[in-house]
Structure 1
Amino acid sequence: MPIQYHDQVNLLKDILSEHQSECCGTVAECEQLERVIKSLMVNSNTNPNVKNMLEDIYTYSQSGKNSTELDQHIQSHQEQLSQWVEDINTYS
Structure 2
Amino acid sequence: MPIQYQDQLNLLKDILTEHQADCCGTVAECEQLERVIKSLMMNDQANQNIKDVLQNVYSYSQAGVNTKELNEHIQAHQHQLTNWIDEINTFS
| TM-score scaled by length of structure 1 | 0.98
Give yes or no for the alignment of 1:84 onto 2:84. yes
SS at structure 1 position matched to 2:32: helix
User: Residue 71 of structure 1 corresponds to which residue in structure 2?
Assistant: 71
Whether the 8 Å CA contact 1:47–1:91 is kept in 2: the answer is no
Larger mean CA deviation between 74-83 and 40-49 belongs to 40-49
Unaligned ranges ≥5, structure 2: none
Aligned residues: 92
Unaligned ranges ≥5, structure 1: none
Give CA deviations for 1:3-38 in whole Å, capped at 9, x if unaligned: 111110000000000000000000000000000000
Whether the 8 Å CA contact 1:17–1:85 is kept in 2: the answer is yes
User: Residue 18 of structure 1 corresponds to which residue in structure 2?
Assistant: 18
Kindly report the root-mean-square deviation, in angstroms, between the aligned alpha carbons of the 2 structures.
0.5
Runs of 4+ in structure 1 displaced over 4 angstroms? Answer: none
Rounded to whole Å, the distance in 2 between the matches of 1:91 and 1:80 is: 17
Residue identity over aligned pairs, in percent, reads 66
Rounded to whole Å, the distance in 2 between the matches of 1:56 and 1:5 is: 19
| TM-score scaled by length of structure 2 | 0.98
